[in-house]
Amino acid sequence: MKVLVCISQVPDTVTKIVLKDNNKTVEENGITFIINPYDEWYALVRALEFKEAGIADAVHLITVGRANTEPVIRKALALGGDEAIRIDADSNDPYVTAGYIAEYAKNEAYDLVLCGKETIDYANGAVGPMLAELLDIDFIGFATAVNIAGTIATVKREIDGGEETDTASLPLVISCQKGVAEARIPNMRGIMAARTKPLKTISPTAIEPLTTVAHYELPPAKAGVKLIAPDQMDELVNLLHAEAKVI
């Protein structure tokens, strides 16, 4: 089985975001970038578990980004990926991102494509299903467990009010979340090996974006905290009603 894992570079959640160009872009200087946690902790680690169990023969990584994303993809290689592909482009349009990946993947005969359920910067969860549509294969989202037996995948996933278990034939695209695998950190052997693993850079095809960013907005500053004595429940109810307007 040949597995492709989609890797995204995202800002670390502790990074302070600064906007520029009339709030249309984000200042990248000073930002610490990481692998999107849903891609790293769940999609990638589950793919590596398949390889360690002899179910997968190869685990390839793919990302859409400029040269500044290479440290992130090298870390993914250090965790155990066999080779990586960087599509040399910038895009915050999920359709364009999915299109770039699909154009590469359609000729590579991947049996399984894994991605995180969403990225922690845009949190739209759209690339996985769009990629499946563009590849004309099935998609299962929000997976909390993924198992493969032969050419059949058994996937447990969250639904409103509970869980369901699905089965589907490969090839398949699955988006992963907590429960699929346990996070790992690269060891020194993996870090050294990642330096020599292949990282291929390819030029993107021409794809017309469907969305553009009008502007970004930072969340409002957090207000001060009001402490209410345990015996002042009437005051607490009044504040929740009159000020917070949540009841």
Per-chain mean pLDDT for the chain: 93
User: Maximum distance among all alpha carbons in the chain?
Assistant: 68
Residue range 44-74, pLDDT digits in tens: 999 999 999 999 999 999 999 999 999 999 9
Cβ density class 170-201: b for 16+ within 10 Å, e for less = bbbbbbbbebbbeeeebeeebeeebeebebee
Confidence of residue 223 (pLDDT cuts 50, 70, 90): confident
Query: Is 24 a member of any domain?
Result: yes
Query: Is 32 a member of any domain?
Result: yes
Residue range 148-200, pLDDT digits in tens: 999 999 999 988 889 999 999 999 999 999 999 999 888 888 988 888 899 99
Query: Is 239 a member of any domain?
Result: no
Tell which wins on pLDDT, 156 or 226. Answer: 156
Query: Is 99 a member of any domain?
Result: yes
Domain housing 148: 2-219
The number of domains in the chain is: 1
Helices 127-135 + 94-105 axis angle, to 10: 40
Query: Is 47 a member of any domain?
Result: yes
CATH (domain of 146): 3.40.50.620
Query: Is 244 a member of any domain?
Result: no
Query: Is 62 a member of any domain?
Result: yes
Query: Is 242 a member of any domain?
Result: no
Residue range 5-27, pLDDT digits in tens: 999 999 998 888 899 999 988 89
> Is the pTM of the predicted complex or chain greater than 0.85?
yes
